[in-house]
Amino acid sequence: MGWKRVARSAGLSPSTVWKLIYGDPSRGQVPSKRVRPATAEKLLAVELDLAAGAIVPSIGTARRIQALVAIGWSQSKIAAQIGMNRSNFGPLAHGRRDVTAGTAAAVRKIYDELSMTPAPVSLVHERSSVSRSLRFAAVAGWVTPLAWDDDTIDDPAAVPQVGAPARRDLVEDYDWLVENGESRWSALQILGVTQSAIDHARRRQTAAA
């Protein structure tokens, strides 16, 4: 998003934004380290509105895809959801290719819809697909959506929260999911744990009570 477009979106004069970025070389002025509160408020209110073909960092897109695979969604299904050929999808899932703003937005939309919805397992071939996806994600070290904070998933410096949750929290989360309509299998997928882990946590919790 160019500085002129930022100025228009913020309702500021181009010269104001120019001086904030570059200063005023003709007068020997460097970029200002301070800005008026009203100017700052206008700039912070600008929403990033990139053209669909603009190239954006791929890390958030890759993390979202990986997280969906980690709860059982196959790469083929995710690719179909965003209208992408499966043969071109692998590098995207691994963060090894550039991504357009349009593709990033499509993945973000699917992620928001599916991140708390485990892949269907009502049919035999669906269960097989889910199992393959879970195994693939485990081997690759991909983490579930619960390991990411929505506010920082696009931040290259962010790290997934993969530490084991407290036993009480794990059991409570599992019970809450089941009580609110998720199957036991789906609840395990969402939490990224096995049934034995839940049983073990429940026994330890009971023993400590």
What does the pLDDT look like over 71-107, one tens digit per residue?
A: 889 999 999 999 888 888 888 999 887 888 899 999 9
Residue 124 burial (10 A CB sphere; 0-12, 13-18, 19+): exposed
* Residue 55 phi, psi dihedral angles, 5° rounding: -85, 130
Residues 60 and 86 both lie in one domain: yes
Structural tokens at position 139: 């081997």
Neighbours of 58 (CB within 10 A): 23
Residues 66 and 136 both lie in one domain: yes
The answer, yes or no, to whether residue 168 has pLDDT greater than 70, is no
- What pLDDT, in 10s, does the model give residues 137-146? 888 999 988 8
Residue 159 lies in a domain: no
Q: Residue 121's domain spans which residues?
A: 55-147
Give me the number of domains the chain comprises: 3
Mean pLDDT of the chain: 84
Residue 107 burial (10 A CB sphere; 0-12, 13-18, 19+): buried
* Residue 84 phi, psi dihedral angles, 5° rounding: -115, 145
Name the residue among 11, 173, 144, 152 with its Cα closest to residue 71: 144
Beta strands in the chain, from DSSP E residues, in sequence order: 55-56, 99-100
